[in-house]
């Protein structure tokens, strides 16, 4: 079984979000980049498939050379091979098309993307990739078992859980639940040393065209002060929620 | 030319979100100077969308569309969009809509923008405002394809009546067989889901243990609200994962979000910030949540919440 995990390189969740160059670019100055949390849940699940079902696990990212530390971390966690498609990741559609170009040559049985990235929150790369490849797709995936080329899965839906069955090849959108927080693998020294020897191949861009372009960013208007209500005067809170905020 | 919306349904009624998508679609159609059409599945009173400005509803009544699968629903929307020569398709941001949109984007050859929070700044080219960095910022995106799919962020536009008489066109589409099989759906009835709810009551580690969750549940029941929790609360198994909200959990975009014993960590706030009004109840006046909230009560949840429930009951009865 060959598994590919698509990795997005995102600012750490505590990063200050600022923009430069007339608000056209994210300010990465002093920002720590991490594996997108949803992708990390997916990677961990893939490593289990490697440990228990001898899966071969590759990771891939579309991005510039600055993404490589995150790929090395994936190798330290246990992936066998990493790819970086050498072009800036600006648009979900372009990223999916770049990934599809690679996947067409490699015939993966399972492709794991994150449900969404925590920076652009597009929530589209996995779905676009699946549609481009003509594979089935299950997002918000909170369970995955594979036996004899058939996957049994669960998908979190609004207000419930759906259980599915699908033949491989398959693309999933990973999120917490697929593995738990405590299952995440913290690379040890040996893993980190080994990762340095593992292949990290740089692939040329397939030069696909983006269909969307971000013109500029904007930060929300600063928030007004909180209105404090005394704990012995909760009628006032109800009054405010009813008459001022009009939410009850 | 017309704008087409996908109007989601549940138990043969429109979901509330369908009215927001219709309202957005109406305003977009007005910007473009064209008609507004909708596609809907398995609904009894399909014409009610007229209230929000829809002129024609393509209605497909078919058991093959339930339970939801991306292949069946996607094909149905695709065929109607193609037959009608649709250039602009508007969807919501429900789990199913976000699941469908990328599939439709490829098959319809349409550029897709998700998390759209406002009407386009311009329509030629189409420029939309989207939330990003989990609600910590916005971006303005230009769609450079002649067809587009807009995913409207839930509760970002609101519902606006614009009455029209909607004609209902019974429609049939040949649906492909599914390779993806839904084997079961667990959807507890009688519970309000976080995605659909106007009010969400959320509890954090400050509640000390699962045995105290009756406080959250009772307050939620009084308000007809959904219940939610912070990440550690679900990690410790006090509450199910489906209640975990925040950057790595479910997003919340309710009208009212009440956080009790939640400190307001940046990852928590990011996920709930799209809510319109935020209330915090916390015994630590320095808790970061007070900087993000509209209303706050500094106090012990174990006394404040029972009092609040009692007063709310009295308020509701009056
Ligand atoms: C990559 C990453 C992703 C994350 N994603 C999320 C996410 O999606 N969602 C999320 O929630 N967190 C997330 N976190 C975790 C986040 O950083 C916080 O640890 C978490 O939100 C804290 O949960 P809490 O507020 O329940 O607990 P605490 O931070 O422990 O806060 C408890 C609060 O309760 C108050 N309190 C205590 N006793 C009482 C009382 N009797 N009455 C009233 N108040 C009381 C305290 O003053 C305190 O403010 C993430 C972290 C990381 C690193």
Nearest to A226 among B111, B290, B303 (CB): B290
Q: What pLDDT score does B187 carry?
A: 85
Q: Residue B189: is its pLDDT beyond 80?
A: no
- Residue B269 maps to a domain: yes
Q: Which domain holds residue A49?
A: 2-222
Q: Are residues B158 and B221 in the same domain?
A: no
- Residue A142 maps to a domain: yes
- Residue A245 maps to a domain: no
**CA A185 – CA A182 distance, rounded (Å):** 8
Q: What pLDDT score does A71 carry?
A: 98
Q: Are residues B121 and B267 in the same domain?
A: no
B302 touches chain A (CB under 8 A): no
Q: What pLDDT score does A110 carry?
A: 98
Q: State chain B's mean pLDDT as an integer.
A: 96
How many structural domains does chain A have? 1
Report residues whose beta carbon is within 6 angstroms of any ligand 1 atom: A 13, 37; B 204-206, 230-233, 246-249, 261-263, 265, 267-268, 271, 282-284, 287, 300-302
- Residue B190 maps to a domain: no
Q: What pLDDT score does A167 carry?
A: 97
Q: Residue B188: is its pLDDT beyond 90?
A: no
Q: Are residues B64 and B105 in the same domain?
A: yes
Q: What pLDDT score does B46 carry?
A: 98
Q: What pLDDT score does B176 carry?
A: 77
- The full 3-state SS of B92-149, as one line of letters, equals CCCHHHHHHHHHHHHHHCCEEEEEECCCCCEECCEEEEEEECCCCEEEEEEECCCCEE
CA distance B186 to chain A (A): 5
Q: b/e per residue, A172-184, with b = 16+ CB within 10 A? A: bbbbbbbbebeee
Residues of B in contact with A161 (CB under 8 A): 185-187, 242
Percent of chain B's residues with pLDDT above 70: 100
Q: What pLDDT score does B191 carry?
A: 77
Q: Which of B210, B260, B263, B284 to mutate to test the pocket of ligand 1 (most atoms within 8 A of CB)?
A: B263
Residues of B in contact with A126 (CB under 8 A): 102
Q: Give this prediction's pTM.
A: 0.95
Atom 47 (ligand 1) nearest CA = B284
Give the tens place of pLDDT for each residue, B103-160: 999 999 999 999 999 999 999 999 999 999 988 999 999 999 999 999 999 999 999 9
Q: What pLDDT score does A159 carry?
A: 86
Q: What pLDDT score does A214 carry?
A: 96
Name which of A211, A223, A229 to mutate to probe chain B: the one with the most chain B Cβ atoms within 10 A of its Cβ.
A211
Q: Which of B294, B146, B263 is nearest to A246 (CA)?
A: B294
Question: Residue B223 maps to which CATH number?
Answer: 3.40.50.1220
Q: What is the DSSP string of chain B?
A: -EEEEEE-EETTEE-HHHHHHHHHHHHHHHHHT-EEEEEEES-S-GGGGGGGT--EEEEE--GGG-S--HHHHHHHHHHHHHHTT-SEEEE--SHHHHHHHHHHHHHHT-EEEEEE-S--SEETTEEEEEEETTTTEEEEEEE-SSSEEEEEPTTSS---------EEEE---PPPPPSSEEEEEE--TT---TTT-SEEEEE-GGG-SGGGTHHHHHHHHHHTPEEEE-HHHHHTTSS-GGGBBSTTSB----SEEEEES----HHHHHHHTTSSEEEEEES-TT-THHHH-SEEEES-HHHHHHHHHHHHHHHHH-
Q: Are residues B17 and B85 in the same domain?
A: yes
Decide if B134 contacts B266 (C-beta within 8 A).
no
| Residues of chain A under the 70 pLDDT cut | none
Q: Are residues B152 and B98 in the same domain?
A: yes
Sheet holding B256-260, edge to edge: A227-228, B295-298, B277-282, B256-260, B199-203, B226-229
CA distance A95 to chain B (A): 13
Question: Residue A10 maps to which CATH number?
Answer: 3.40.50.620
Task: Give the residue-averaged pLDDT of B257-286.
Answer: 97
Give me B50's structure tokens. 């007229």
Q: How confident is the model at residue B178 (pLDDT cuts 50, 70, 90)?
A: confident
Q: Are residues B304 and B235 in the same domain?
A: yes
Q: Are residues B207 and B277 in the same domain?
A: yes
Q: Are residues B144 and B68 in the same domain?
A: yes
- Residue A89 maps to a domain: yes
Decide if A17 contacts A91 (C-beta within 8 A).
no
Q: Which domain holds residue B53?
A: 2-170
- Residue B180 maps to a domain: no
- Residue B178 maps to a domain: no
Q: What pLDDT score does A240 carry?
A: 98
- Residue B107 maps to a domain: yes
Q: What pLDDT score does B82 carry?
A: 97
Q: What pLDDT score does B1 carry?
A: 82
Q: What pLDDT score does B76 carry?
A: 97
Give the tens place of pLDDT for each residue, B78-105: 999 999 999 999 999 999 999 999 999 9
How many structural domains does chain B have? 2
- Residue A241 maps to a domain: no
Q: What pLDDT score does B126 carry?
A: 97
| Interstrand relation of A9-11 and A160-167 (parallel, antiparallel or unpaired) | unpaired
- Residue B136 maps to a domain: yes
Q: Are residues B161 and B264 in the same domain?
A: no
CA angle, residues B152, B155, B159, in degrees to nearest 5: 90
């Amino acid at each position: 079984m060959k598994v590919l995990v698509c990795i997005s390189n995102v600012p750490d969740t505590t990063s200050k979000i600022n923009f430069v160059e007339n608000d056209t670019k994210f300010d990465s100055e002093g920002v720590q980049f991490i594996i997108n949390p949803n992708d990390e849940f997916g990677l961990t699940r893939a490593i289990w498939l490697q440990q228990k079902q001898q899966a071969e696990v590759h990771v891939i990212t579309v991005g510039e050379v600055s993404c490589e530390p995150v790929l090395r971390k994936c190798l330290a966690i246990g992936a066998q091979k990493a790819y970086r498609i050498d072009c800036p990741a600006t648009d979900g559609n372009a990223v999916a098309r770049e990934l599809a170009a690679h996947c067409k040559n490699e015939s993966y049985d399972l492709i794991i993307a994150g449900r969404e990235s925590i920076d652009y929150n597009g929530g589209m790369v996995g779905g676009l990739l699946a549609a481009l490849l003509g594979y089935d797709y299950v997002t918000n995936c909170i369970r995955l078992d594979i036996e004899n080329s058939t996957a049994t899965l669960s998908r979190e839906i609004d207000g419930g859980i759906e259980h599915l069955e699908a033949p491989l090849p398959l693309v999933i959108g990973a999120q917490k639940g697929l593995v738990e927080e405590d299952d995440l693998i913290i690379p040890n020294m040996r893993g980190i040393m080994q990762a340095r020897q593992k292949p990290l191949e740089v692939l040329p861009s397939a030069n696909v065209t983006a269909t969307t372009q971000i013109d500029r960013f904007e930060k929300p208007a600063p928030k007004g002060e909180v209105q404090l209500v005394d704990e012995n005067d909760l009628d006032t809170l109800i009054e405010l929620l009813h008459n001022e905020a009009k939410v009850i | 030319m017309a704008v087409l919306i996908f109007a989601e349904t549940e138990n043969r009624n429109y979901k509330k979100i369908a009215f927001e998508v219709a309202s957005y679609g109406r305003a977009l159609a007005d910007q473009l100077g064209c008609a507004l059409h909708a596609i809907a599945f398995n609904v009894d009173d399909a014409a009610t969308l007229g209230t929000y400005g829809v002129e024609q509803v393509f209605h497909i009544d078919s058991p093959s569309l339930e339970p939801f699968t991306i292949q069946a629903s996607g094909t149905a929307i695709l065929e109607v969009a193609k037959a009608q020569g649709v250039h602009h398709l508007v969807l919501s941001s429900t789990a199913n809509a976000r699941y469908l949109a990328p599939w439709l984007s490829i098959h319809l050859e349409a550029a897709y923008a998700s998390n759209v929070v406002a009407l386009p700044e311009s329509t030629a080219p189409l420029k939309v405002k989207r939330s990003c960095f989990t609600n910590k910022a916005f971006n303005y995106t230009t769609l450079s394809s002649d067809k587009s799919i807009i995913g409207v962020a839930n509760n970002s536009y609101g519902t606006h009546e614009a009455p029209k008489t909607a004609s209902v066109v019974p429609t049939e589409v040949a649906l492909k067989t599914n390779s993806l099989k839904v084997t079961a759906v667990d959807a507890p009835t009688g519970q309000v889901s976080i995605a659909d709810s106007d009010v969400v009551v959320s509890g954090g580690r400050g509640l000390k243990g699962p045995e105290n969750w009756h406080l959250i549940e009772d307050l939620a029941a009084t308000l007809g609200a959904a219940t939610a929790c912070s990440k550690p609360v679900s990690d410790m198994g006090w509450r199910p994962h489906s209640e975990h909200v925040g950057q790595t959990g479910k997003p919340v975009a309710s009208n009212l979000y009440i956080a009790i014993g939640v400190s307001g960590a940046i990852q928590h706030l990011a996920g709930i910030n799209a809510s319109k009004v935020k209330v915090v109840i916390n015994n630590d006046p320095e808790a970061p949540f007070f900087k993000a909230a509209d209303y706050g009560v500094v106090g012990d949840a174990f006394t404040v919440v029972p009092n609040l429930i009692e007063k709310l009951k009295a308020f509701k009865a009056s």
